[in-house]
Structure 1
Amino acid sequence: MNNYDTLNPMQREAVFTTEGPLLVLAGAGSGKTRALTHRVAYLIEEKGVKPWNILAITFTNKAAGEMRDRVNSLVEYGADSVWVSTFHSLCVRILRRFIENIGYTTDFSIYDSDDTKTLMKQIFKDLEVNTKVLKERGVLGVISSAKNEMISPEEFMLSAKAEGDSRLKRIAELYMEYQKRLKKNNALDFDDLLVKTVELFQSKQEVLEYYQDRFRYIMVDEYQDTNTVQFKLVSLLAAKYRNICVVGDDDQSIYRFRGANIRNILSFEETFPGAKVIKLEQNYRSTKMILDSANEVIRNNTGRKDKTLWTENEVGERPVFREFSSSFEEAEWIVRDIVKRGGPWKDYAILYRTNAQSRIFEEKCVAYNLPYRLVGGVNFYQRKEIKDVLCYLKTIANGRDDLAVQRIINVPKRGIGAMSVARVNMFAMENDMSFYEALERAQAVPGIGKAALKIGVFTDQISEFRKMLKEETPIKDVIEAILDKTGYRDELKEEGEVEAESRMENIEELINKAVSYWESAEEPSLSAFLEEVALVADIDSMDESEDRIILMTLHSAKGLEFPYVYLAGMEDGLFPSMMSLMEGPEALEEERRLCYVGITRAEKRLTLTAAKSRMIKGQVQPERTSRFIDEIPDVCLERPDRDDSKTGWKKMADAYRNLPEEAGLPWAKASGADGKAADGHTGRFQNRPAGVSLFGQKSDAYKNPYASGTSAAPKNTLTFGKAFTVEKPKSLDYSEGDRVHHMRFGDGTVKSIADGGKDFEVTVDFDHAAIGTRKMFASFAKLKKL
């Protein structure tokens, strides 16, 4: 039996179709990576294609690594010559060789999000931008969106002027200045890596033709996530030979907020006339019940290519939907359910729509002493000590990187004051040179004084480190020299033994990473190492061998799979998000695709949960079950909490009565000065009074002051724990038929008001069709009469 006999008929057809444009619609868990890697092997071994004529593009380093390993296991010779990389890594390799054609040097720096924020902050300060009108993060987002659409600063300015929008004109000015400073620093941000490669191809036909001839067979994974510039890049490369195979699933297109354009996959046949379409619909991951639930949800989308997942796996259990009084009860139940089922813990994933939902799950895991991994937390490479060491390495590699040099000029402290730095900066700008070049000429800087000697020590050290690298000193020794000769290690020790040890452990891990790179790379270089670090994503560093419960957003979960999955927060306004409900059908369809992605992460068991009340912006709000739950028929979904004798608002009243102490405990604060518990996790309940459990439940040592004795709870009061009470208003300043405003749902008309005893129950018909009619307690709705 050969390698291809193990493939199903549709996978084989995708493998054997090698000439001309091909669209492979690969459903979740349908073995697309297997089909792609076998296709590479087939091209080399059966079609006689040279390995270096094949390009395979993925979206993450992790996926690229897996594909590379699989190809190596299938092909006896030449697999290492196949280019398997992410879009960004591909562009870096091209630019390192040819970027001088568009005015940069090949030792350019790559700015991560932290670097770009720092640069924009400097621009805001220098141009005296009103931060009440514009925010650095918002401007960077607009610039990124423009780059994704291949809109230059000049084009952006013309558009802003045509619209007569002063705010857009100001952003255009900032965009121009931002690009100017990046160029001066010989640096590119992530978006530039793609944009500049396209610019290179469009301006230098000979370079484009070189890569067109090099990559005669092109494959692109996760094509539904491509944006305009990525689409343009692939189209340019494939224009000559048209042997392009794109693999993707329009039902899993969930990155519109990052610029992904679902039209790229939906209109592939229009872009590449004569394209063949193959559907991979057999799922190898999930049970039949889980797939039926996913199919029922996604078929409500209209903007999609028709396909239905099926499987030969067992029928399995119906997914379960559970409702809880509050988000606290929801988290408590999920974690207890995991404890009840037992390890291995890495089999469990808790998925949610927003990062803010993770906090309560973290606290419950800590309370139960369960090991967990929060994906999307602080990236290893964003930690201060790691950024410091990397900036030393960046300065050694590219002296024109002003941001890197300015970060470390006084780290560790050298007695070089802010005024001295400002004078050097001014000297650099007046003489059209980089900040580091100005440092090397410090003696010539007006008014620099004694600081010139301290600056000289710094530049001498950088020169020494450069010499070490040139002499091929092991990278470990170079980093150790940086730590010792600059005094960085000694300054860390001054922070305290525990803090220093933690930071040094992180630096040791960076050294391990550098050594590993140097040992595995064919032609190791500092620039190449720095670009590998810059392009790493949080999901790439996830260690699947760690036995920990995974906490992550639904967006982060794409491409992963777990035996047991919990989808938490299945409530309208949370999932689907309120913004999507306001925006309209296109945004809602993307949320539905996100739900489909979440459901199809589960292999054996899927549990969906919702809360009847949730703390939002400091206020407890009633919640409505997500419409996505209603799209799953009962034949596919078990709902043990459904009880017609105790519906809707009776449950809501119970939700408020049963809210745990966490809802408003004055002592719910972190214990240490650093806001962390002893084990390093953020802990909110360390300073609780004696007798109060982690779950807000009172032990015998703590008695409710209203339970007995002379004190009595005030009438018409809902109690949410100590110091958190809401009194029923004596009257309302609005009546039936009045127009009112809700801080979350917007404007609406009061349809009815009922006296519920402990509070008024108000029914409002909101203007926005997606919100509809809602019933809520007056004390929490805080409606304002219009």
Structure 2
Amino acid sequence: MIPNPDFLSGLNPQQKQAVTAPPGHILVLAGPGSGKTRVLTHRIAYLITQYHLPPSNILAVTFTNKAARVMESRLEDLLGEKPQGIWLGTFHAICARILRREAENLPFSSNFVIYDEDDQQSLVKTALRELNIDEKMFKPASIRSVISTAKNNMQTPDDLTSRNYREEVNLRVYRRYQELLRVNNALDFDDLLNEVVNLLTQNQAVRDRYSRRFGEILVDEFQDTNTAQYQILRSLAVGNASMFVVGDEDQSIYRWRGADYRNVQSFERDFPDCQKILLEQNYRSTQTVLDAARAIIDHNINRTPKRLFSDNGKGEAITLFESADDKLEADYVADTIRQNLKAKKWKGSQVAVMYRTNAQSRLLEEAFLRANLPYRLVGAQRFYGRREVKDIIAYLRLIYNPSDEVSLTRVINVPPRGIGDKTVTTLQQRAHEMNISAGEVLADLGKLGQQSAHFASFSGRSALSLADFGSNLNTWREASSKGMPLTRLFFQILEDTAYQEYIDDTTEEGHQRWENVLELGKIAAEFEDRGLDEFLERLALVSDQDTLAEDVEAPTLLTLHAAKGLEFPIVFITGLDDGLLPHSRSLDDPEEMAEERRLLYVGITRAKDRVYLTRADRRSTYGGYDNSAPSRFLKDIPAKLLLQQGAVSSSRGGFSSSYSSPRERRTESYANWTTPSPTYGSFKPTPRQAKPAVEQRFPANCRVKHEVWGEGLVVKSVLEDGDETVDVFFDTVGFKRLAASLAKLEIIKK
């Protein structure tokens, strides 16, 4: 390899100390924007070039596919070529790779499929149905969450006991859910980790082989590891492996899914000889942004204090905007962005609007529509969650693993081929009687037709339909096993199923759906040389951030949790009210409250140049408004860092006296405004005027069509403020509340 000879010259002293440290256990606590990815990639390059460590002896673990791709690209730049043999990927991807290699030591075969949340919920529903448990009383989503929590704690059904009837039902469903995973030769995300823990714990030969192989283990975002992930790392480090972990307790925000920042403390306890290095120079933000963030996080305990500093200058003050209600808060955000875009001070892609809960996006979306602003919404329906995309993926998964009954159930009658629910139930019962999978029954029907021993179990028409479908599956599987290129297999499925005709691409909605199918085909082409197994694994492990387009010139709307790992020149954080941020669930739990502080800290430190914090004196509820109090976190930000704008209701009086401000606060109600005031900076709200009465055009229960979201059912329609507000449940994206005058809805069925 021909390394860049100057690849250490651009590092600051703390970074260079971390990169060039002798092999051993090293804990790097990296503040936000301090170049942790740079340190990790340079560390790998240093080990390869200076210690001559073969890349195949290096394991580098990240938390997102995007981070893995960035590291791969930077390593290639540093070394002059790709380091061959290095294991670099997410925890789940690395674990899947180990499990496929070690399948002979496991109770499932190497062609297992990975179930996403939708698949897991489908399996929970199957378990409920088989156990004759009412879905209305025991919600599948709730039970799936209970199962995931148990797995995060590494608890099997045998580890749990039930104290009441609900817990007994949860336990019964959990047990059957696990049995169905085995029947389907499938694993869920939690299983990928737990099965590797079990493998390394129970099979010393396997553990020794991997611990000898990986002489250096590097871990990104160490503060986000959960119990299983930390146990995997400890198992691999039992030999002579060195561990180089990079993290920041202050950025641990995934406690709700099992992440435990205390693993940082456990690392220091388990490896007392570890070297501890702090990265404190920030390359992203202005000093004002960092000082505001530090003022909030310094109130947390059980952390290593860091002195964050930046050479990017002091920067502009943090803007704090208080509005009379949440609608005007959203209008302020949209209008501020619109005016700066119009003046060409900002570009749309430079702006992010963040919030604590997904539900807060509705008012923001409506405000953006009123302002005629485009936006991209992270955490809405993902590309891989679209119906037509999941259909084709299900076909491919079924070819790869015929035991996958979740995929089979999804596509057995898509497009319609005369196979109804009763026939599917009979098929599953027949498979159960024969102690084989439904896929094997189909394969036999497809091969032998009327000569199959299973044929008589079905009515004549249903049996023929099943045999025809089974024949197609057999043909596709044989073609795949003989090395048919992935893209050719992809389009063969589309042709054999007449999928294009099924979605009717002559309509606008159908055309958009067909374009999504073709886009999936483009992604398949990228895996032409790697095969169906790698393609399906990559799709199963993709995250919201991995699908976030980087070339869209529009502001980004996303939750604070989704913002982790991203950065933007301008950041708006909305809903700074007690009960929202911090969330109401955290008010009586010190650990949860500490996490809420970390969440706001992460949000603020996403910003390079400007931060806008907004709140509302009252927030809309069902049929009215509730008063809200300012977030308790706001009083921690020094007044000298704030530029305060906006008006709050005089009946509420705004902040307590501890909230001093460099500018005089107006206390008049928004409802009394008649002219814009310079006190409000660039935001110039339009005076409220009486609007003419309108007629209801979209009554409840009528079907409507939207040019972007397709068809939906009107749930409620209300006439208010001179317009018709319509609640619609769309087939593609779920619930939306729209202003009828802006939404361009078309009635398609009364």
TM-score normalised to the size of structure 1?
Answer: 0.82
**Is there any run of 5+ residues in structure 2 with no aligned partner, and where?**
446-451, 655-664, 674-686, 727-738, 740-750
Equivalent residue number for residue 575 of structure 2: 569
Q: Secondary structure at the match of 1:413?
A: coil
Equivalent residue number for residue 669 of structure 2: 654
Q: Deviations over 1:531-556 (max 9, x none)?
A: 11111011111111211110000000
Q: Deviations over 1:730-749 (max 9, x none)?
A: xxxxxxxxxxxxxxxxxxxx
CA change 1:302–1:666 in 2 (3 A) is: farther
Q: Deviations over 1:346-386 (max 9, x none)?
A: 00000000100111111222222222110001011111111
Equivalent residue number for residue 512 of structure 1: 522
Equivalent residue number for residue 612 of structure 2: 607
- Check conservation: 1:18, 1:243, Cα contact below 8 A: no
The aligned amino acid for 1:399 is P
1:219-618 paired onto structure 2 within 5 Å: 219-342=218-341, 343-442=346-445, 443-445=452-454, 446-450=456-460, 451-493=462-504, 497-518=507-528, 521=529, 524-582=530-588, 584-618=589-623
- Distance across 1 between alignment mates of 2:667 and 2:411: 56
Distance apart, 1:310 and its partner CA: 0.9
CA change 1:672–1:216 in 2 (3 A) is: farther
CA change 1:676–1:609 in 2 (3 A) is: farther
Deviates most, 678-687 or 193-202: 678-687
The aligned amino acid for 2:47 is L
CA change 1:639–1:101 in 2 (3 A) is: same
Distance apart, 1:81 and its partner CA: 2.4
- Check conservation: 2:443, 2:474, Cα contact below 8 A: no
Q: Deviations over 1:236-276 (max 9, x none)?
A: 11121240011111001110100111210133210212111
CA change 1:633–1:669 in 2 (3 A) is: farther
Q: Deviations over 1:711-736 (max 9, x none)?
A: xxxxxxxxxx9xxxxxxxxxxxxxxx
Q: Does 1:107 align with 2:111?
A: yes
Distance apart, 1:415 and its partner CA: 1.0
The aligned amino acid for 2:112 is F
- Check conservation: 2:694, 2:723, Cα contact below 8 A: no
CA change 1:98–1:277 in 2 (3 A) is: same
Q: Secondary structure at the match of 1:279?
A: strand
Distance apart, 1:18 and its partner CA: 3.7
Aligned with 2:638 (options 620, 630, 633): 633
- Distance across 2 between alignment mates of 1:165 and 1:691: 50
- Check conservation: 1:677, 1:686, Cα contact below 8 A: no
Distance apart, 1:467 and its partner CA: 2.6
Distance apart, 1:667 and its partner CA: 5.7
Q: Does 1:620 align with 2:625?
A: yes
- Distance across 2 between alignment mates of 1:690 and 1:384: 35
The aligned amino acid for 1:323 is E
Aligned with 2:90 (options 74, 86, 89): 86
- Check conservation: 1:319, 1:607, Cα contact below 8 A: yes
Q: Deviations over 1:184-235 (max 9, x none)?
A: 1100011111111111112222211121112110011001111100111111
Q: Deviations over 1:599-653 (max 9, x none)?
A: 1011011110001111134431111111111110111111134799886179899
Equivalent residue number for residue 180 of structure 1: 179
Distance apart, 1:654 and its partner CA: 2.9
CA change 1:682–1:634 in 2 (3 A) is: farther
- Distance across 1 between alignment mates of 2:719 and 2:124: 45
- Distance across 2 between alignment mates of 1:137 and 1:550: 28
Q: How many residues align?
A: 686
Distance apart, 1:392 and its partner CA: 0.8
CA change 1:604–1:685 in 2 (3 A) is: farther
Q: Deviations over 1:7-28 (max 9, x none)?
A: 0000011101142211100000
Q: Secondary structure at the match of 1:572?
A: coil
Q: Does 1:121 align with 2:125?
A: yes
Distance apart, 1:488 and its partner CA: 2.2
CA change 1:605–1:674 in 2 (3 A) is: farther
CA change 1:137–1:110 in 2 (3 A) is: same
TM-score normalised to the size of structure 2?
Answer: 0.86
Q: Deviations over 1:38-92 (max 9, x none)?
A: 0000000011111111111000000010011111110135513221100000011
CA change 1:339–1:218 in 2 (3 A) is: same
- Distance across 2 between alignment mates of 1:78 and 1:337: 45
Q: Deviations over 1:257-310 (max 9, x none)?
A: 001112101332102121111000110100011111011111111222111211
The aligned amino acid for 1:515 is A
Distance apart, 1:475 and its partner CA: 2.2
Equivalent residue number for residue 735 of structure 1: none
Distance apart, 1:181 and its partner CA: 0.7
Q: Does 1:678 align with 2:707?
A: yes
**Is there any run of 5+ residues in structure 1 with no aligned partner, and where?**
697-720, 722-786
Q: Does 1:196 align with 2:199?
A: no
Q: Supply the RMSD in Å over aligned alpha carbons.
A: 3.0
- Distance across 2 between alignment mates of 1:505 and 1:511: 10
Equivalent residue number for residue 733 of structure 1: none
Equivalent residue number for residue 662 of structure 2: none
- Check conservation: 2:717, 2:724, Cα contact below 8 A: no
- Check conservation: 1:26, 1:249, Cα contact below 8 A: yes
- Distance across 1 between alignment mates of 2:218 and 2:29: 13
Q: Does 1:41 align with 2:54?
A: no
CA change 1:643–1:327 in 2 (3 A) is: closer
Q: Secondary structure at the match of 1:3?
A: coil
Deviates most, 422-431 or 686-695: 686-695
- Distance across 2 between alignment mates of 1:636 and 1:691: 38
Distance apart, 1:133 and its partner CA: 4.3
Q: Secondary structure at the match of 1:565?
A: strand
- Distance across 2 between alignment mates of 1:345 and 1:131: 44
Distance apart, 1:122 and its partner CA: 1.1
Q: Which has the larger radius of gyration?
A: 1
Equivalent residue number for residue 57 of structure 1: 61
CA change 1:45–1:122 in 2 (3 A) is: same
- Distance across 2 between alignment mates of 1:665 and 1:24: 62
- Distance across 1 between alignment mates of 2:584 and 2:501: 51
- Distance across 1 between alignment mates of 2:457 and 2:13: 77
- Check conservation: 1:622, 1:652, Cα contact below 8 A: no
Distance apart, 1:691 and its partner CA: 9.9
- Distance across 2 between alignment mates of 1:496 and 1:334: 39
CA change 1:665–1:428 in 2 (3 A) is: farther
- Distance across 2 between alignment mates of 1:15 and 1:666: 69
